[in-house]
Amino acid sequence: MIYLDNAATSSPKPQTVIKAVERSLREFCANPGRSGHDLSQRAALEIYECRKKVCEFFNGPSEDKVIFTPNCTHSLNYVLKGLLSPGDHVIASSMEHNAVARPLHQLAKQGVEVDVAEVIFDDMDATLRSFGALIQHNTKLIVCTHASNVTGMVLPIKEIGALCRQYGILFVVDAAQTAGIIDIDMEDMNIDFLCIAPHKGLYAPMGTGILIARSNLPKTVIEGGTGTMSIEIEQPEDLPERLESGTLNLPGIMGISAGIDFVKSKTLDRIYNHELKLMQMLYDALESLPNIRLYTSRPQKDLYAPVLSFNIGGMTSGEAASKLNNYGIAVRAGLHCAPMAHKRIGTLDIGTVRVCPSVFTSPNHIHELVNVIKRIIHSSKNYYIY
Q: How do residues 224-275 score in pLDDT, each as one tens digit? A: 877 777 778 788 888 898 898 989 999 999 999 999 999 999 999 999 999 9
| pLDDT over threshold 50, residue 171 | yes
Rounded mean pLDDT, 377-381: 81
CA distance 180 to 185: 12
Q: What integer pLDDT is reported at residue 153 of this predicted model?
A: 97
Q: What integer pLDDT is reported at residue 236 of this predicted model?
A: 85
| pLDDT over threshold 50, residue 159 | yes
Provide the β-strand partners of residue 113. 89
Q: Which of 226, 153, 152, 144 is nearest to 193 (CA)?
A: 144
CB 165 within 8 A of CB 203: no
Rounded mean pLDDT, 38-66: 95
Domains of the chain: 15-265 (3.40.640.10), 267-379 (3.90.1150.10)
CA distance 134 to 91: 7
Q: What integer pLDDT is reported at residue 314 of this predicted model?
A: 83
CA distance 151 to 347: 12
Instruction: Give residue-wise pLDDT tens across range 87-115.
Output: 999 999 999 999 999 999 999 999 999 99
Q: Which amino acid is present at 254?
A: M
| pLDDT over threshold 70, residue 383 | no
CB 190 within 8 A of CB 165: yes
- Band (385; pLDDT cuts 50, 70, 90): very low
Q: What integer pLDDT is reported at residue 128 of this predicted model?
A: 98
Rounded mean pLDDT, 150-156: 97
Contacts by 190-197 with C-beta closer than 8 Å and gap 24+?
190/158, 190/161, 190/162, 190/164, 190/165, 191/157, 191/161, 192/141, 192/164, 193/79, 194/58, 194/60, 195/72, 195/75, 195/76, 195/79, 196/58, 196/72, 196/75, 197/71, 197/72
Instruction: Give residue-wise pLDDT tens across range 271-309.
Output: 999 999 999 999 999 999 989 999 999 999 999 999 999
Query: pLDDT exceeding 90 applies to what percent of the chain?
Result: 85
- Band (76; pLDDT cuts 50, 70, 90): very high
204 — phi, psi (to 5°)?
A: -85, 170
Query: pLDDT exceeding 70 applies to what percent of the chain?
Result: 98
Compute CA distances 154 → 172, 178, 204, whole Å.
Answer: 15, 9, 23
Q: What integer pLDDT is reported at residue 127 of this predicted model?
A: 97
Neighbours of 109 (CB within 10 A): 8
Angle of helix 98-109 relative to helix 72-83, nearest 10 degrees, comes to: 30
Rounded mean pLDDT, 189-218: 97
Provide the β-strand partners of residue 292. 312
Rounded mean pLDDT, 32-49: 87
Give the residue numbers annotated as catalytic, written as ranges. 337
- Band (86; pLDDT cuts 50, 70, 90): very high
CB 116 within 8 A of CB 94: yes
Nearest 5°: the CA angle 294, 275, 363 is 85
